[in-house]
């Protein structure tokens, strides 16, 4: 992306974000025991985490988990009732994010509906300190990247919802922020454009930008996030790298074994492979592997007693880990409302909204 390549060069010149403190592991954001209440509802309940400089950090959970409330506090739109927020973009610690060095994509898009696309983007960039000529040059580059070239003079409300979201994303990032806070960046996009946004987020990270995003599309985030924080009813559920989250859940890999003949649970128990889940009348069995247990050890135990015709091993998805962490059986969620669970809407609505 030409815009990202430009950003990469500018970042080194303007602030050397990845090297100012000699380490990428310098926190850009520190959240300490933050609480936010709305009347009798605690939307965020003593949440703590740190976002390292130059990483992609994802807040994950269904609607009502508290993600957007956290994002609004980080952007200074609302204040926490308790706890502390700290920011360091390489120029010293402060209590709020520098708006000139922060890009914010709100969940509720904030465009001027009757404005023309290019003039509006340039105007918003000017509010963040960008010269008009440079803003227009960058805007045209981004519009081309997002397949909006030739639509510069159209009104925003003449665009489709997806194209309006593209314009909002461009406006959020045009000034090449040191910190990008993206609230539900995949929402409303089709798979092609979701992939485009995923690549863009990766390019921002490669350019040295710190990215904090909130999402309920766990399958999309799984491929791009360095670390995640899984939330439920305003509280932390699991957090860390994907490997750390899997280790904390007690399941690092899953083995799916197909036998030549059906086997009973008692027969599998005698093979000492650990807890199993039978599928397809007992011919297929799934085994969750804790940290330190190998696929080879399971196969060795099974082949001593059964004829194994197929083996498949995979890491559990974030969605599965989340559902198990909040006490929901992923297999049960694959029933009538499984489609919504696959999209990351975790527990059923009655359980997920605080």
pLDDT tens, residue by residue, 171-220: 999 999 999 999 999 988 999 999 999 999 999 999 999 999 999 888 89
Q: Is a pLDDT exceeding 80 seen at residue 346?
A: no
Q: Which of 23-32, 235-244, 255-264 has the highest mean pLDDT?
A: 235-244
24, 54 in Cβ contact below 8 A? Answer: yes
Average pLDDT over the chain, rounded to an integer: 84
What contacts 51, CB < 8 A, 6 or more positions away? Answer: 27, 28, 29, 30, 57, 210, 212
- CATH number, domain containing residue 307: 3.30.70.1560
Q: Is residue 224 part of a domain?
A: yes
Q: Is a pLDDT exceeding 80 seen at residue 299?
A: yes
Q: Is 150 helix (H, G, I), strand (E, B) or coil?
A: coil
How much is the pLDDT for 274?
74
Binned at pLDDT 50, 70 and 90, residue 24 comes out as low
**Higher-confidence position of 282 and 2:** 282
241, 71 in Cβ contact below 8 A? Answer: no
Q: Which of 78-87, 132-141, 236-245 has the lowest mean pLDDT?
A: 236-245
Do 287 and 165 lie in one domain? The reply is no
Task: For the chain, give the percent of residues with pLDDT over 90.
Answer: 53
Do 29 and 54 lie in one domain? The reply is yes
Q: Is a pLDDT exceeding 80 seen at residue 300?
A: yes
Q: Is residue 348 part of a domain?
A: no
The helix-helix angle for 161-173 and 132-145 (nearest 10°) equals 140
How much is the pLDDT for 345?
38
Binned at pLDDT 50, 70 and 90, residue 321 comes out as confident
The total of structural domains in the chain comes to: 2
**Higher-confidence position of 236 and 217:** 236
Do 16 and 117 lie in one domain? The reply is yes
Q: Is a pLDDT exceeding 90 seen at residue 239?
A: yes
> Which pTM does this prediction carry?
0.79
Which of residues 218, 242, 266 is at a domain's end? 242
Q: Is residue 44 part of a domain?
A: yes
Which of residues 242, 270, 285 is at a domain's end? 242
* Overall average pLDDT of the 39-55 stretch: 96
Q: Is a pLDDT exceeding 60 seen at residue 347?
A: no
Do 50 and 97 lie in one domain? The reply is yes
Q: Is a pLDDT exceeding 80 seen at residue 333?
A: no
Q: Is residue 184 part of a domain?
A: yes
Binned at pLDDT 50, 70 and 90, residue 158 comes out as very high
Do 36 and 177 lie in one domain? The reply is yes
d(CA 343, CA 354): 20
**Higher-confidence position of 341 and 128:** 128
Q: Is residue 321 part of a domain?
A: no
**Higher-confidence position of 303 and 24:** 303
Which uninterrupted H or E stretch holds 117? helix 117-127
- CATH number, domain containing residue 127: 3.40.50.300
Range of the domain at 307: 253-314
Do 138 and 176 lie in one domain? The reply is yes
Q: Is 236 helix (H, G, I), strand (E, B) or coil?
A: strand
Do 147 and 90 lie in one domain? The reply is yes
């Amino acid at each position: 992306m030409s815009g990202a390549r430009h950003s990469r060069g500018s970042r080194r010149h303007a602030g050397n974000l990845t090297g100012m403190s000699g380490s990428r592991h310098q926190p850009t954001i520190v959240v300490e025991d933050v609480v936010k209440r709305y009347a009798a509802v605690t939307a965020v309940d003593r949440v703590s985490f740190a976002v390292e400089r130059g990483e992609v950090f994802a807040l994950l959970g269904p609607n009502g988990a508290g993600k957007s409330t956290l994002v609004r506090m980080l952007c200074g739109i609302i204040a926490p009732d308790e706890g502390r927020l700290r920011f360091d973009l390489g120029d010293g610690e402060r209590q709020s994010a520098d708006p000139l060095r922060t890009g914010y994509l709100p969940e509720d898009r904030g465009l001027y509906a009757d404005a023309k696309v290019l003039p509006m983007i340039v105007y918003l960039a000017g509010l963040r300190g960008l010269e008009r000529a440079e803003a227009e040059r960058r805007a045209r580059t981004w519009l081309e990247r997002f397949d909006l070239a030739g639509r510069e003079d159209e009104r925003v409300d003449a665009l489709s919802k997806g194209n309006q979201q593209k314009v909002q994303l461009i406006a959020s990032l045009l000034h090449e922020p040191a910190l990008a806070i993206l609230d539900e960046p995949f929402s409303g996009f089709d798979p092609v454009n979701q992939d485009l946004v995923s690549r863009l987020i990766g390019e921002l990270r490669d350019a040295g930008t710190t990215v904090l995003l909130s999402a309920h599309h766990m399958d999309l985030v799984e491929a791009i996030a360095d670390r995640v924080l899984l939330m439920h009813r305003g509280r932390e559920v699991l957090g860390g790298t994907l490997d750390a989250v899997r280790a904390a859940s007690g399941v690092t890999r899953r083995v799916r074994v197909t036998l030549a003949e059906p086997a009973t649970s008692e027969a599998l128990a005698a093979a000492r492979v650990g807890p199993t889940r039978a599928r397809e009348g007992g011919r297929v069995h799934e085994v969750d592997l804790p940290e330190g247990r190998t696929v080879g050890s399971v196969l060795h135990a099974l082949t001593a007693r059964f004829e194994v015709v197929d083996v498949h091993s995979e890491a559990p998805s974030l969605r599965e880990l989340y559902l198990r962490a909040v006490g929901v059986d992923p297999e049960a969620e694959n029933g009538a409302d499984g489609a919504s669970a696959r999209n990351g809407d975790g527990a059923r609505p009655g359980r997920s909204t605080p």
